[in-house]
């Protein structure tokens, strides 16, 4: 095989196909050139683009050409450059023995389109998922939270703790345990028994009758009865 002829012929054909885009970087000792590829939509401001750089070897096309992929930062943020490289090397192995640059460029172009379509679908799905989440959140805001027995009891316990209700209930319980005098009297039978015992022991109370013997000797006039206010246990000045 005339390797030089095969290589020169392919370079001329590629330059015609990608005229204006293909750049010849060197012609000796081996041809080296670059061809840019881009996905659909890239010219409109979105999409993927990179540059494939090929260098012939002495025995190309029976040997694979050297391949480099030049990208910018945005490309590496969206896709894996190494994944594209592996894909192109697989295509090159399948075409070994034939001029293959056009095939590799076409395979790279198709790979970019597929990746860009996948990125767009993911973005659309994210937008739809966010929209759905926002709608569900809005519905929940109007519907409110569904109340179950468990959630209500938990809420009530938290509310009562915040309001100090358990402490108030405990205090009220203690206050209720304090009995009034009447309640103590009714509940404590020993008080009844003490009163009954006092009545039963009434015969044992002695009265000194001598204290009342001179009452008949007292002469009280009607005037005295009118003027003197008798206070039991207090003697008058006439005494």
Q: How far is CA 46 from CA 77, 120, 130, in A?
A: 14, 10, 22
**197, part of any domain:** no
**113, part of any domain:** yes
Q: Tally the domains of the chain.
A: 1
First to last CA, the chain: 168
Which phi and psi (to 5°) does residue 144 adopt?
A: 80, 175
**114, part of any domain:** yes
**180, part of any domain:** no
Q: Is the pLDDT of residue 144 over 90?
A: no
- Domain range holding 28? 3-120
Most confident of 54-68, 185-199, 208-222: 54-68
What CATH number does the domain containing 45 carry? Answer: 3.10.110.10
Encode pLDDT of 53-63 as tens digits: 999 999 999 99
Q: Which residue, 24, 19, 21, is CA-closest to 8?
A: 24
- Predicted confidence at residue 207, as pLDDT, reads 54
DSSP annotation of 107: H
Longest dimension (CA), the chain: 174
The mean predicted confidence, pLDDT, of the chain is: 80
Higher local confidence (pLDDT), 202 or 109: 109
Q: Is the pLDDT of residue 52 over 60?
A: yes
Most confident of 67-81, 99-113, 200-214: 99-113
Determine the Cα angle at 104 with ends 50 and 5, to 5°. 120
Q: Is the pLDDT of residue 147 over 90?
A: no
**237, part of any domain:** no
**214, part of any domain:** no
Under 8 Å between Cβ of 95 and 62 = no
**192, part of any domain:** no
**35, part of any domain:** yes
Q: Is the pLDDT of residue 211 over 80?
A: no
């Amino acid at each position: 095989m005339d390797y030089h002829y095969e290589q020169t012929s392919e370079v001329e054909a590629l330059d015609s196909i990608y005229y204006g885009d293909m750049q010849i970087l060197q012609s000796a000792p081996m041809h080296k050139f670059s061809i840019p590829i881009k996905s659909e939509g890239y010219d409109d401001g979105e999409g993927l683009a990179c540059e494939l750089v090929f260098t012939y070897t002495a025995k190309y096309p029976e040997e694979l050409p050297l391949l480099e992929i030049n990208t910018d930062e945005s490309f590496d943020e969206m896709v894996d450059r190494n994944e594209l490289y592996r894909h192109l090397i697989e295509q090159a192995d399948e075409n070994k023995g034939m001029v293959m640059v056009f095939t590799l460029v076409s395979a790279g172009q198709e790979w970019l389109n597929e990746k860009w379509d996948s990125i767009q679908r993911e973005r659309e799905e994210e937008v739809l998922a966010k929209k759905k989440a926002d709608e569900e959140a809005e519905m929940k805001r109007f519907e409110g939270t569904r109340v179950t027995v468990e959630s209500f009891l938990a809420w009530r316990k938290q509310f009562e703790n915040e309001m100090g209700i358990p402490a108030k209930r405990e205090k009220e319980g203690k206050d209720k345990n304090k009995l009034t005098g009447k309640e103590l009297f009714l509940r404590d039978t020993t008080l009844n028994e003490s009163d009954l015992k006092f009545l039963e022991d009434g015969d044992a109370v002695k009265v000194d009758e001598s204290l009342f013997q001179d009452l008949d000797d007292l002469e009280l006039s009607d005037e005295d009865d009118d003027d003197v206010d008798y206070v039991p246990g207090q003697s008058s000045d006439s005494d």
